[in-house]
Amino acid sequence: MRPLLDLTKEYGLVLDGGGARGAYQIGAWKALKEAGVKICAVAGTSVGALNGALICMDDMEKAERIWSEMQFSHVMSVDDDWMRQLFQGEQKIGDVLSELGRIFRDGGVDVAPLRKLIHETVDEEKIRKCGKEFCIVTFSLTDMKELELSISDIPEGRLGDFLLASAYLLGFKNEPMEDGKRYIDGGIFNNVPADILVDKGYADLIEIRIYGPGREPRVRLPEDGEMYRIGPRVKLGSIIEFDRERSRNNMKIGYYDAKRMLYGLEGIIYYIEQEHLDAWYERRMRDMAEMEKRALAIVLKLPVSSTDKELYMGMLEAAAKFLRIPKYKIYTVDDLRGLVHERYERLLAIAPGMQELPGFMDIFIKIERDRSMNLTGRNFLTLKDFTPEEITYLLDLAADVKEKKKQGIPVDHWRGKNVALIFEKDSTRTRCSFEVAAHDMGMGTTYLGPTGSQMGKKESIEDTARVLGRMYDGIEYRGFGQEIVEELARYAGVPVWNGLTNEYHPTQMLADMLTIRENFGRLKGLKLVYMGDARYNMGNSLMIACSKLGLHFVACTTEAYFPNAELVAQCEEYAKESGATITLTSDVKEGTKNADVIYTDVWVSMGEPDEVWEKRIKELAPYKVTEDVMANADKDAIFLHCLPAFHDLKTKIGEEMGERFGIKDMEVTDEVFESEQSKVFDEAENRMHTIKAVMMATLGMEQQP
C-alpha cells in the first residue's frame, strides 16, 4: 500500500490531552514512523506533551515499554489492585466514598510517581538536540495565565517540571514547582494546540486525538495547508484508567487507526483496503428491493439513505464481528468476506440446526453464495454447460471490468500468459475483442487465420490441440461445426473458448445479456423476440440464454426456420427452473407484441452458398425488423443485432444484393438500425468486456494480486 500523504513534505504533529488514553498516540506514532512520515514539529498538551517528549527523543522502544507496563501506581500514589477493582465495579460504594474523602482531605491525588517517571524517562538534552520544534501548553494558577512554551522558552534542566505542569489534572495534589508557582493542566484552556504550530508557520499538520476534556480553539490553516486527523472510533476508557492491558489495546487501536488515515482504509469496525468500485456493490445488492434495503439499514444502525456500498460494507463488518474475526489486521474486502464464509461454514458444521442468526447474516451469506464462483480451467463452448448463477457471475465480472476500463484501472494481472486465436471464419468483433481483451489482461496473442495453421489439413484437430495446449494458456476457436471446438477442448488441456460455430455463439450471448441488463436493470421477466432464421447459432444460443436466465424467448419466423425440436425441449426444461417461456410463432404482430427486445441477424450465415440468398430474402422478408415492428413492441423496447447487418447498400455484398433483387436493406431497415432504440454498438463494445470476463474467470481469478 502507498500512503496518501506526500512523504516529501514535513509535518507538524498535534497531540491533545486525555490522561490514560495516551497510549493510543504512541501506537499512531509508530504507524507514522513506519510509513516514513517526517515530523518536524510537535505540540502537545497534558499527556500529549509527555508523549511529544518521547516522540522528540525518537525512542519507540522506550515509549512502547512505558505504556505496555503502565499501572495506576506509576502515575498516582494508589494501590493497583484497589483501583482495578474500582474500575471493574467490585468496590463497595461506602469504601469508595471513604477513600475519596481521604484524598480530598489530603489536598488531592498524590502524583509523586508521575514526577518520578517523567524525570527518569525524559532525556532533556536529546530533545533539545533533536532538530524538532517542541511546544507544550500549561496554565499558571499563580499568574492566571496560559503558557504556550517552546523548548527554547523553558530554562535548561526544567523541562521535566513543565511537562508535569502541563499534566496537572484537576483532582491532582497541586504543589508549587521549583519556581514557587502552581500550574494546572494546559488542556483546560487549549487541549488541541494546533494553533501554536500554525502561528509558528507550519502548514501541514497531523492531529492524533484522544478526546480528553478541555477547550478546543478554532484554527485557520494557511491556504496551502492541510490537516490530517487520526482519532478513535471506539471508547479508549477513562482518562485515569492507567491499566497495562487497556494501554496495550489502545496502542494497537492507535496503530491501526493511523494506518486507516495513512492508506485511506475503509470500515467502521475493521480496517479494510478497498479494491472494488461502487458498481461492484450495486450489482451485489441489485436483487434487494428498496424497502428491504431501508429495513437492513435500520438493523445495521445506518442511515436509511445509505448507498449499496455502505449497506454491503455494514453487513460485512457486522458479520465479521458476529463471527469474532480479529479486528486488528488490514483486510481487503475479498479477504474479509472469505473469512466470513469460512467461519460461517465452520459454525454450520458444528451446529447444523442453528436458527438464531442475525437477519443481516442470512442476507449476506445468500448474496455471497449467489456470487461465489470458481470457473478456473473450464471450457466455454456453449451456455448449456453453465448454470444461471455462473452466467450471471460472468455478466457481473464483465460489468466490473467494463467499469474499470472506463476508469482507467488496469487488470493486467495475467502477464506472462499467452492465448492462441484460431479463426477459420473471418471476424471483426470477435477477433478484435479477444485481442484487445487479452492485451488489457497483460497477455500475448497469436492469430491463426483460415490459412494460418495445418489443423484439419496436414494435422489432425487432436494433434493441433495437444501442440497448442503445451504452448498456450488458452485457445479460442471460430469456425464451423461444434464438434471441432469440442475436440479441441477434449485434447488441449487448457481452457478453450467458442468464438462461434454453426451451432452456438456463447460469447455473443454474454454481450447481448449485458447490454439488455444495462438498459433495463434486470433480465428476468423480459420478453426477447428473435426474427429471422432461428435454426443456427444465434437462434439456438439466444433460446438457451433466455431459458437459463428467465427471459421469455420468442422465435418469430416461418415454421421452416424454427429451432431444432430437441433443443427446444431441452430449453423448456431450463425454463421450468428459471420461470422463462419458449414460444415459436409465425405471427409477427402477435410475436412482437409488448416485446422488450427485438433481435435479428443476417439471413445468410457465413459459409452458406450464394444460391440461398434468393430463397431467404423471399421467405424471410415478412420478418424484417421495421418501424412498424418496433412500434408494436413495448414503448421502451430496444433493437439488437450481432452484426454485421445489411441495413443499407454501403457494403460490397449489400450493393450486389440490391442490384440482383431490387432491395435497399434486408433483415432490418436503416431507420430502425440508426434509431435511438438501436443498441447495436453498445452490444458490439460489450463483446470485448464479456470476452475479457470469460478469459479471466477460466484462466483463474487467483492471478490477481
Catalytically active residues, by annotation: 478, 505, 508, 601, 642, 687
Distance, CA of 25 to CA of 39 (rounded, Å): 14
Cis ω for the linkage preceding 644 (within 30 of 0): yes
Q: Which residues pair with 474 in a beta bridge?
A: 419
Q: Are 130 and 57 in contact (CB under 8 A)?
A: yes
Question: How many C-beta neighbours within 10 Å does residue 593 have?
Answer: 14
| Contacts for 507 with CB less than 8 Å, ≥ 6 apart | 380, 430, 433, 497, 498, 499, 500, 687, 690, 691, 694
Q: Are 37 and 3 in contact (CB under 8 A)?
A: yes
Q: Which amino acid is at 100?
A: L
Q: Are 421 and 468 in contact (CB under 8 A)?
A: no
Residue 336 phi/psi, 5-degree rounding, is: -70, -45
Distance, CA of 544 to CA of 574 (rounded, Å): 8
Q: Which three cell numbers stand for residue 117?
A: 517517571
Q: Which residues pair with 15 in a beta bridge?
A: 44, 208
Rounded to the nearest 10°, the torsion over CA 47, 48, 54, 55 is: 160
Q: Which helix (H) or strand (E) holds 613?
A: helix 612-620
Q: Which residues pair with 583 in a beta bridge?
A: 554
Q: For the chain, what's the residue count?
A: 705
Q: Which amino acid is at 203?
A: A
Q: Which three cell numbers stand for residue 93?
A: 460504594
Q: Which residues of 345-358 are buried (b: 16+ CB within 10 A; e: fewer)?
A: eeeeeeeeeeeeee
Distance, CA of 670 to CA of 396 (rounded, Å): 32
- What is the DSSP-derived secondary structure letter of residue 218? -
CA angle 422, 425, 429 (to 5 degrees): 85
